[in-house]
Amino acid sequence: MSVRAAAPVRVPELLLALLTCIAGFALSLHLFYPGMATHDALAVYDQAYAGRFGDWQPPLLGVIWIALEQVLGYGPRAIFLPSAALYWLGFLLLFLGLRRSGARVAWLALPVALLPPVFALTGTIWRDVIFSILWLVGFGLVLASADRGRVWRTAALVPAGAIVLTGFLLRPNALFAAAPLLVYLAWPRDWRWRRLLVFALPISAVLVGSTYAVNYLWLKARQDHGLYSIFVFDLAGITHFSGENVFPIAWTPQELETLKAKCYNPAYWDAIWWRGCTFAMHKIDYDVPPGSKLFGSPRLRQAWIEAVLAHPLAYAEHRLNHFRVLLTGELMVMFDQYRSGQYRFLLFKNADYWRLETAVIWLNRETPLFRGGLWLALALAAGLAALRFEQGRAKAAVLALSSSGVVYTLTYLVFGVAAEYRYVYWTALSSLCAGIVVLAKWECDRRTVP
């Protein structure tokens, strides 16, 4: 993938790739239309219609959704249709960027888009999926223009940056994973670790500022204290592993034994809400008498700090236990409307959807395809392979994708509160794309060897 090897994609190839992606989009419509709305998505949807936002879910998603309804119609289809179209556009851009290098491996991008670990979730309205698709498109725009002149690259950089920023605003916990991708957008022709280190902090500051501006200055979102779910999860985990009560709450002896034995689940922070443990969240979340609510208060934050300092080994054991489940556990993959109680926009599954769902359930049970550890390993392998590349576009593309994917999953080691496959979706998508770029680079290198 050297600059001198770049060549226009022939018209027949372009048409074939375009038709393939159109066929893929048609398949998406057949399987998933009008899209499956999750309870998280509906929360911001309802807030957008009411004009009163919270910050637990991304308010911008609701704003975009109801704006698109003016064009695409009412309900989930307004967000599903552009999301599905952008998914196929992202892979088309990946193909174009690699095919210009002459690599036949570029054609692999199109069938990879159909792999269940990335394709199966595209019909569900999850911010995890939507932000990942937006990041793929932003990356693809720059990849496809990286071998062109400054005007082309600048023209691609502006929309790519806006798209990646929008994706981040839908998933602000991708803060640290955004820096490698944004550095790549600006410098797609070479990769410098020093450059990433220099710009990571300013980029993070700008992203945090943009979140504040959009959520609080523009949309006037109330603070729902989503961060405090981490505090509750960690306090429950430390209590479980240390055997000591670290909540700033006086439990009865029976309550404390129940809390230690039954109210901790390494996969879900809200296990403390489940049957048999409602007494715990009653004391944590109820505001009786007024002003005494623990959730969202400085007392809970201080209790978390003291617990981590007093029981670092129990905290580490809890965090590693959660991360182990995320990487190796049999996680929830496809959203279950019936178990969630979401019936307002019910997706009526056709026979082919049922076949896909059955296949995904089998693959999830019998293979590692939906294990977070597989995609983290692939991202690491692609990055290690790219370290041996000569400086250039391929190295920059792979290291941007792999480092972003690795950092994104590692974020959940400290900040994770639930273990579901969608939380590693960006790592799966980015590592697959990075792997294709690695294969294309190897092919081009073999062709240049005398």
Cα gap 27→88, rounded to integer Å: 11
- Report pLDDT for 6: 61
pLDDT of residue 449: 54
pLDDT given at position 127: 95
Any residues with CB less than 8 A from the CB of 432 and at least 6 apart, and which? 112, 115, 117, 118, 375, 378
Amino acid letter for position 226:
G
Burial of 263 (0-12, 13-18, 19+ CB in 10 A): buried
Q: Are 54 and 221 in contact (CB under 8 A)?
A: yes
Distance CA 318, CA 118 (A): 29
Query: What's the CA gap between 287 and 307, in Å, rounded?
Result: 23
Cβ neighbours around 27 below 10 Å, total: 15
Task: Return the SS3 of 243.
Answer: coil
Distance from C-alpha of 359 to C-alpha of 309, rounded to nearest angstrom: 46
Sign of the dihedral through C-alpha 283, 342, 116, 82: negative
Residues with Cβ < 8 Å from 165, sequence gap 6 or more? 207, 210
CA-angle at 187, arms to 181 and 189, nearest 5° = 110
357 CB-contact burial (10 Å; exposed 0-12 / middle 13-18 / buried 19+)? middle
Q: How far apart are CA 328 and CA 374, in angstroms?
A: 8
CA 283 from chain center: how many Å?
Answer: 33
For residue 7, the model assigns a pLDDT of 67
Cis? peptide before 266, omega within 30° of 0: no
Q: Strand 124-125 relative to strand 36-37: parallel, antiparallel, unpaired?
A: parallel
**Beta bridge pairs of residue 37:** 125
Angle (CA) 323-327-333 rounded to 5° is: 115
Picking from 419, 341, 326, 413, the residue whose alpha carbon sits closest to that of residue 374 is 326
- The string over 411-441, giving b where at least 16 C-beta atoms fall within 10 Å of a residue's C-beta and e elsewhere, is bbeeebbbbbbbbbbbbbbbbbbbbbbbbbb
Closest CA to 41 of 118, 168, 132, 127: 127
**0.85 exceeded by pTM:** yes
User: What is the residue-level pLDDT of the chain in tens, covering all 450 positions?
Assistant: 544 446 678 888 999 999 999 999 999 999 999 999 998 999 999 999 999 999 999 999 999 999 999 999 999 999 999 999 999 999 999 999 999 888 899 999 999 999 999 999 999 999 999 999 999 999 999 999 888 878 888 889 999 999 999 999 999 999 999 999 999 999 999 999 999 999 999 999 999 999 999 999 999 999 998 899 999 999 999 999 999 999 999 899 999 999 998 999 999 998 998 888 999 988 898 877 777 789 999 999 999 999 999 999 999 999 999 999 999 999 999 988 877 777 788 888 999 999 999 999 999 999 999 999 999 999 999 999 999 999 999 999 999 999 999 999 999 999 999 999 999 999 999 999 999 999 999 998 887 655
Distance CA 47, CA 231 (A): 26
